[in-house]
Structure 1
C-alpha cells in the first residue's frame, strides 16, 4: 500500500516593526509549497493564529473539491506561538501547520 503524505501548509507569523501606527501588529502568511495563499495582519497574535487556521481550512476544502463550511471563529480560537507545529482539523479536512523555513533546516 502506498504511503501518502498528509496535507501540509507552511506559515509565517511575526510582529511588525513599529511604523506610523502607534500599536503593535502581527503579520501572518499562509503558504502551500511555493505558493502564497493568504496574508494579512492582525492586532494580536491569537487573532493572527485564528486567521491562519481559518484560511488553511478553507483552502484545504477547496483543494479536495469539498464545500467550504461556514466560518466559525470558535473552532479556530486559540493562540499559535510562532515556531510551533499544529495539527488542524475542521470538518473532514486534517492538515498540518508548519513554520515556514522549517523544511530548510538540515
Structure 2
C-alpha cells in the first residue's frame, strides 16, 4: 500500500421523510447508517485517528441529516468525511477517486 497524506470520503443517500433512515426510534441518521462507511474507508487507509472533530445538522425528525468529520492520523495525515441523507457521493483517496452516481 502506498502512503496517503489525506483521504476525503462521503456517503450520501436521499430518503423521503417516512423512510427508516429518518426515524430516530429506528436508529436512523446520516452518521450511524451512512457515515460509518466513509469513516471505515478513511481508517482502512490511514489507521485509527489520534483526534476527531465533528459537526452536524439535525432533521425535524431528530436524526442527523448531515455529519462532517475531520480526523488526524499518524504521520500528520488527515481525513475528512461527509455523510448526508440528501444525495450524491464521492470517495477520494490518493492516487485515485471512485464516484458513485447520485441515487434515484
TM over 0.5: no
TM-score by length of 1: 0.38
TM-score by length of 2: 0.39
- Larger helix proportion, structure 1 or 2? 2
Higher RCO (CA 8 Å, separation ≥ 6 residues): 2
